[in-house]
């Protein structure tokens, strides 16, 4: 989330902090940035200025120059104070692995201790009907990819694998273990090869754990001289660190009052139910945010500072049901992962991105949220389901900043990236929470889109966002 930073005047008399104490805005924090979490320390960003005293959840805002204030004679103009560096929770590892139809049909990618491995395809030049298989060594998550770099499953996968049958000793229509096809292939007449050499810039879906195996799945065996540029190139892979334990950051106001979503099942069943449409985003291999289904159609919302281009939309993983099975326990529920697809609308001032996903049918059962198209009331009780720090889903529902212990509206209208665009609150958030829905406990509908920390934290008013996207929902 972008932070409001305080400009600093340097004069011959000394240094003055303008507008109050600047420590909370510009000093480095051990917890890193808030909202969009980058897993690569070398990430750069446009210099978008956040309002004074606030910080966007991606931590990449920079203070504007002070208008009309010249530097004192003989004194350099002040350098703009930097926002905190992105929190490093992983890395991109460059590799150069080439798989083909002859000697090398598989490769193992490994990074000790990683939470996930996510291969990147630079080329997928396959013969018609052939696939690339990506999975973990134990086969917990295995997916097959077409030459377009898109995952395929269900009836479509069955049909493609059926085309890879017909080998000696098989019954008609019987499917072999695809891995065995690699060693049981048939030779192909080199003169009949007509597959194009295809350049690609596509991430595979992540594989849990620290090891991924990538294989070419084909019934064909080709002599090396007949390859003609066919094959698969993997030029890099992302390795993600395991989510950090709960810790205090600037966006946690007082004590950390968030808890695992499942902790609210009995006492707050409505709040727990409305947390189901919330998803963790893994963007471009290394960045984390939160998103949620809005309305019954294939539509999701997050912040623009999370997804700001069609490329990012198409290279974003959307994880549903990433949550702990027991209160205070460990993640062990099955996760449903789909890829982002189209970026339908976005706005820099209101910091939203409306997008779609592939394989929408897979996430329909998680339900959707509705919008509360109005200005929030002062003191109105709130809750925020989110993926703080990239951890399994948590809910902020209480706050030690309120005498009655409630997470509630501080001010219905405050400055965001423009006058009165935001609603403020002391509900706890962290890095990775950017894009979370802020729901009213009175209506259980979304009243703001979280994007700023700074205590109070704030979200963009949903009535303003709705005015721009209502025709696209």
The candidate with the shortest Cα–Cα distance to 62, out of 79, 37, 43, is 79
The helix/strand/coil state of 21 is: coil
Q: Residue 186: which domain range?
A: 90-240
Residue 385 lies in a domain: yes
Q: Give the tens place of pLDDT for each residue, 152-209.
A: 887 667 766 665 543 334 343 333 344 443 333 444 444 444 445 567 888 999 999 9
Residue 438 CA to residue 133 CA, distance in Å, equals: 39
Q: Are residues 261 and 183 located together in one domain of the fold?
A: no
Q: Are 238 and 286 in contact (CB under 8 A)?
A: yes
Distance in angstroms (rounded) separating the CA atoms of residues 1 and 306: 9
Same domain? For 131 and 193 the reply is: yes
Q: Are residues 233 and 261 in the same domain?
A: no
Structure-token match 């996930």, residue found: 116
- 24 in any annotated domain: no
- Whether residue 253 sits in one domain with residue 183: no
Residues 208 and 281 in one domain: no
Kindly state the tokens that stand for 366.
Answer: 């998680």
Average pLDDT score, the chain: 76
Pairing mode, if any, of strands 220-221 and 186-187? parallel
CA distances 30 to 33, 34, 85, 248, 330, Å, are 9, 11, 10, 9, 25
Last residue of a domain, one of 240, 272, 295: 240
Instruction: Mention every residue, 6+ apart, whose C-beta is less than 8 A from residue 296.
Output: 368
Residue 220: CB atoms within 10 Å: 18
Same domain, residue pair 398 and 472: yes
Peptide bond into 78 cis (omega under 30): no
Is residue 236 predicted with pLDDT exceeding 90?
A: yes
Where residue 424 sits, what CATH number does that domain have? 2.40.10.120
Residues 471 and 322 occupy one common structural domain: yes
In-domain check, residue 424: yes
pLDDT at 303 over 70: yes
Dump pLDDT digits (tens) for 56-113.
Answer: 654 333 333 333 333 334 433 333 322 222 344 678 999 999 988 776 789 999 999 9
Same domain for 226 and 352? no
CA–CA gap between residue 223 and residue 158 (Å, rounded): 28
Q: pTM score, two decimals?
A: 0.76
Region 329-334 average pLDDT: 74
Q: What is the DSSP letter of 417?
A: S
Assess if residue 347 is contained within a domain.
yes
Q: What is the pLDDT of residue 161?
A: 67
What six digits make up the tokens of 28? Answer: 């480095």
- With respect to residue 310, please indicate whether it lies within any of the assigned structural domains: yes
Same domain, 212 and 322: no
The torsion angles phi and psi of 94, rounded to 5 degrees, stand at -80, 135
Strand pairing partners for 346?
A: 353
- Tally the domains of the chain: 2
- The answer to the question of residue 62 being in a domain is no
Domain boundary residue among 240, 261, 280?
Answer: 240
56 belongs to a structural domain: no
Give me the mean pLDDT over the 122-145 stretch. 89
| φ and ψ of 410, to 5 deg | -85, -60
Residue 244, pLDDT score: 60
Looking at the structure, tell me whether residues 181 and 206 fall in a common domain: yes
Residues sharing a CB contact under 8 Å with residue 273, sequence separation 6 or more, in sequence order: 367
Residues 227, 250 within the same domain = no
* Alpha carbons 441 and 397: distance in angstroms, whole number: 9
- Rounded Cα distance between 240 and 51, Å, is 32
Q: Is residue 390 one of the residues assigned to a domain? A: yes
Check residue 79 and give its pLDDT.
34
Where a domain ends, among 240, 274, 309?
Answer: 240
How many whole angstroms separate alpha carbon 435 and alpha carbon 1? Answer: 9
Are 402 and 469 in a shared domain?
Answer: yes
How does pLDDT run across 256-293, given as a tens digit for each residue? 667 888 899 889 999 999 999 999 999 999 999 999 99
CA distance 53 to 454: 7
Q: What is the per-residue pLDDT across 337-376, written as a single tens digit (0 to 9) for each? A: 999 999 999 999 999 999 999 999 999 999 999 999 999 9
Residue count of the chain: 473
């Amino acid at each position: 989330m972008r932070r409001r930073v305080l400009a600093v005047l340097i004069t011959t008399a000394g240094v003055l902090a303008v507008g109050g104490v600047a420590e909370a805005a510009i000093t480095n924090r051990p917890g890193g940035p808030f909202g969009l979490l980058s897993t690569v320390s070398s990430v750069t960003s446009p210099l978008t200025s956040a309002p004074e005293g606030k910080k966007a959840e991606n931590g990449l805002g920079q203070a504007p120059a002070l208008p009309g204030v010249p530097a004192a004679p003989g004194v350099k103009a002040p350098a703009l104070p930097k926002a905190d560096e992105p929190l490093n929770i992983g890395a991109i590892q460059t590799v150069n692995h080439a798989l083909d139809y002859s000697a090398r049909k598989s490769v193992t990618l490994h990074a000790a201790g990683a939470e996930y491995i996510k291969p990147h395809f630079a080329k997928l030049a396959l013969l018609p009907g052939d696939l690339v298989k990506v999975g973990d060594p134990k086969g917990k998550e295995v997916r097959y990819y077409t030459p377009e770099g898109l995952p395929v499953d269900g009836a479509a996968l069955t049909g493609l694998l059926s085309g890879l049958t017909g080998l000696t000793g098989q019954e008609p229509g019987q499917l072999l273990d695809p891995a065995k096809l690699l060693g049981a292939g048939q030779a192909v007449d080199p003169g009949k090869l007509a597959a194009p050499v295809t350049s690609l810039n596509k991430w595979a879906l992540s594989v849990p754990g620290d090891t991924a195996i990538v294989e070419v799945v084909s019934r064909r065996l080709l002599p090396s001289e007949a390859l003609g540029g066919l094959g698969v190139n993997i030029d890099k892979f992302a390795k993600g660190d395991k989510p950090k334990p709960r810790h205090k950051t600037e966006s946690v106001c007082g004590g950390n009052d968030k808890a695992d979503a499942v902790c609210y099942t009995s006492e707050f069943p409505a709040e727990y139910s409305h947390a189901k449409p919330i998803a963790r985003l893994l963007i471009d291999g290394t960045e984390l945010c939160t998103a949620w289904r809005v309305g019954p159609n294939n539509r999701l919302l997050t912040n623009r500072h999370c997804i700001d281009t069609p490329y990012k939309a198409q290279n974003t993983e959307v994880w549903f049901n990433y949550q702990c099975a027991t209160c205070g326990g460990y993640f062990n529920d099955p996760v449903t992962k789909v890829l982002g697809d189209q970026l339908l609308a976005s706005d820099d001032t209101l910091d939203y991105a409306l997008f779609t996903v592939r394989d929408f049918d897979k996430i329909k059962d998680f339900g959707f949220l509705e919008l509360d198209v109005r200005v929030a009331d002062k003191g109105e009780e709130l809750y925020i389901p989110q993926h703080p720090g990239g951890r399994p889903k948590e809910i902020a529902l209480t706050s030690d900043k309120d005498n009655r212990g409630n997470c509630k509206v501080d001010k219905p209208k405050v400055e965001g990236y423009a006058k009165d665009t935001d609603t403020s609150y002391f509900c706890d958030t962290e890095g990775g929470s950017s894009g979370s829905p802020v729901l009213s406990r009175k209506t259980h509908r979304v009243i703001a889109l979280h994007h700023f920390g700074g205590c109070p934290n704030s979200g963009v008013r949903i009535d303003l966002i709705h005015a721009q996207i209502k025709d696209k929902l």
